[in-house]
Amino acid sequence: MDKIKRERWKRKFGEWFSENIENAGIIDIRYPIKGTYVWLPYGFKLRKHLIDLLRRLHNETGHEETLFPLLIPEQEFMKEAKHVKGFENEVYWVTHGGIEELNVKLAIRPTSETAIYPMFALWIRSHKDMPLKIYQVVNVFRYETKSTKPLIRLREITTFKEAHTAHATKEDAEKQVKEAISIYKKFFDELGIPYIISKRPEWDKFPGAEYTTAFDTIMPDGKSLQIATVHNLAQNFSKTFEIKFEDVNGEQNYAYQTCYGISDRAIASHLALHGDDLGLCLSPEVAPFQIVVVPILYEGKEEAVNAHLKKVLKILENFRIHIDDRNETPGSKFYYWEKKGVPLRIEIGPKDAEANAVTVAIRSNGKKEQVKLEALSLHLKNTILEIKNTLRERAWSFLSEMTSSALSLEEAEKILKRKGGIIKTSWCGKKECAEKIENELNVRLLGINEEERKKGKCIACGEETESVLNIAKAY
């Protein structure tokens, strides 16, 4: 049984989120530019572990890390018409160097296609140069006009992992889309973030893409958040940027491309979905400290406890730990680390020293037990796995609670009023029906669920269809 309550967490999620990311020392929201924030040391460590995980998943699938410049010359940026149109309202421009006006305006990357693809054109000559699979983790800037929110809607996206690939055939690019989806599934599974995958409608795809597949999750307040996207770019950019190669038959062809990205929203959803009324609750996968050690020093027993602590620290060498030896009461230390979401706490008091044991407390369920030193290492390894699984299962069962089906607009409206979440329904594919659904329900069409087909009638016009559409009120 969970001892920890998740009530305020759900009821007043917006308030809970900003209060807790600040209280836990993740970011400082007071920086005087809208949509930009400061990563604090504790948050920065969390971010680093999350990026390490992303790097590992990309490196082991043959992606190589690169770093491209932040600035993009205007003429490159303006080349791909649809891409430009999609981003024209969101780009920050550098127009001056000192007091001199620049001859060529420079775009601050809102994403890096137009920085990277002119270089791909120089690097790719033959089918042997492909597949080319690169990625970078950088900051990008988007002048968002909707209201900004820490980690969720940023003007400076500080943790932008973007991957870009080029292939000799359409089939290879298609396979790459599948690989990207499986990388992201693994990533979110490691973080315990549940997702639903949809093919975005034509009008909501990435500017310049052939099609976009998106991962969405549901926040505690019932609204969906897009947490990752995978785009098949076909030859749209390669034709604009002249990414040409000699194919196996000696003929010139344009490369087939894909790109896919993830942002700070992965961190936001990790914090949001696992938290509770006490504060954050981190997964041991990315927690800055997996274990906090609190020595409990009673007068006259300090020596015994300190000697015991030394023995314990030897056993903890393979874990990320922090020793809290501040001059505070144990109770206030427990509260402090609970708020920050450290997965495990080890208390070492005189009784533990006598019993040659420690007391282990688990943040995610509030359980506490004494463990003998000889069993400690294995116990911690198993508990860490258990915590990861529990967080993942708890979050997936929340997503499943928040997923409903509706056969009519009225039914969908009732569900949205009652609890929000994702609604699966039927849609014929026509734009006018999509507009009717969006306008009447004030929702976003997340897109078609490609893994599911079900006979039904379009909720807007009644036409028979087998497509399953996901809709939700969205961030």
Q: Which residues bind ligand PR8 (CB under 6 A)?
A: 111, 113, 142, 144, 153-154, 157, 162, 206, 226-229, 231, 259-261, 263-265
Residue whose structure tokens are 């549901």: 218
Q: In this complex, which beta carbon is closest to ligand PR8, that of residue 224 or of residue 229? A: 229
The SS3 assignment for 106 reads strand
Of 161 and 333, nearer to ligand PR8 (C-beta) is 161
Q: Which of 253, 232, 3 is nearest to 127 (CA)?
A: 253
Kindly state the smallest distance separating residue 223's Cβ from ligand PR8, in Å. 14
Q: Tokens standing for 112?
A: 């890096």
Nearer to ligand PR8, 214 or 384 (CB): 214
**Taking the complex as a whole, how short is the minimal distance between the CB of residue 174 and ligand PR8, in angstroms?**
17
Distance CA 189, CA 399 (A): 13
Cβ closer to ligand PR8: 31 or 298?
31
Q: 3-state DSSP: the chain helix, strand, coil percent, rounded to 5? A: 40, 30, 30
CA neighbours within 13 Å on the CB side: how many for 408? 3
- Using alpha carbons, select from 276, 158, 260, 168 the residue that is nearest to residue 214: 260
**Minimum distance from CB of 401 to ligand PR8 (Å)?**
23
Least Å distance between CB 227 and ligand PR8? 5
State yes or no: cis peptide before 343, omega within 30 of 0. Answer: no
Residue 75 to residue 87: CA distance in whole angstroms: 15
Closer Cβ to ligand PR8, 28 or 144, answer by number: 144
Q: Would you say 231 or 345 has its CB closer to ligand PR8? A: 231
Nearer to ligand PR8, 160 or 398 (CB): 160
> Coil, strand or helix: which one is 369?
strand
| Total residues belonging to the chain | 475
Sequence-ordered strand ranges (E) for 297-389: 321-323, 344-348, 357-362, 368-372
Residue 216 or residue 221: which is nearer to ligand PR8 going by CB? 216
How near is the Cβ of 229 to ligand PR8 at its closest, in Å? 4
CB of 264 to ligand PR8, least distance (A): 5
- The least distance separating ligand PR8 from the CB of residue 228, rounded to whole angstroms, comes to 5
Tokens 């076909």 belong to residue: 234
CA 444 to each of CA 83, 216, 235: distance values in angstroms, whole numbers, following the listed order: 22, 12, 28
d(CA 293, CA 338): 13
Residue whose tokens read 């809290």? 324
Give, as one character, the DSSP assignment of residue 200: P
Closest contact distance (angstroms) between CB of 369 and ligand PR8 is 40
Q: Name the residue with the smallest CB distance to ligand PR8.
A: 261
Question: Shortest gap between Cβ of 142 and ligand PR8 (angstroms)?
Answer: 5
What CA–CA distance (Å, rounded) separates 328 from 349? 15
As a whole number of Å, the end-to-end CA separation of the chain is: 32
Nearer to ligand PR8, 259 or 433 (CB): 259
| Contact between 439 and 450 (Cβ < 8 Å) | no
Distance CA 331, CA 333 (A): 5
CB of 212 to ligand PR8, least distance (A): 7
Structural tokens at position 187: 């990533």
Min separation Cβ 206 and ligand PR8, Å: 5
Nearer to ligand PR8, 49 or 142 (CB): 142
Residues facing residue 290 across a β-bridge: none
Alpha carbon 112 to chain centroid, angstroms: 19
- CB-CB contact of 443 with 190 (8 Å): no
Q: How many CA atoms lie within 13 A of 6 on its CB side?
A: 18
Nearer to ligand PR8, 144 or 411 (CB): 144
Q: Which residues are within 8 A (CB) of 106 and not within 5 positions of it... i.e. 6 or more apart?
A: 71, 72, 73, 74, 93, 94
Taking the complex as a whole, how short is the minimal distance between the CB of residue 265 and ligand PR8, in angstroms?
5
Q: Which is nearer to ligand PR8, 199 or 436 (CB)?
A: 199
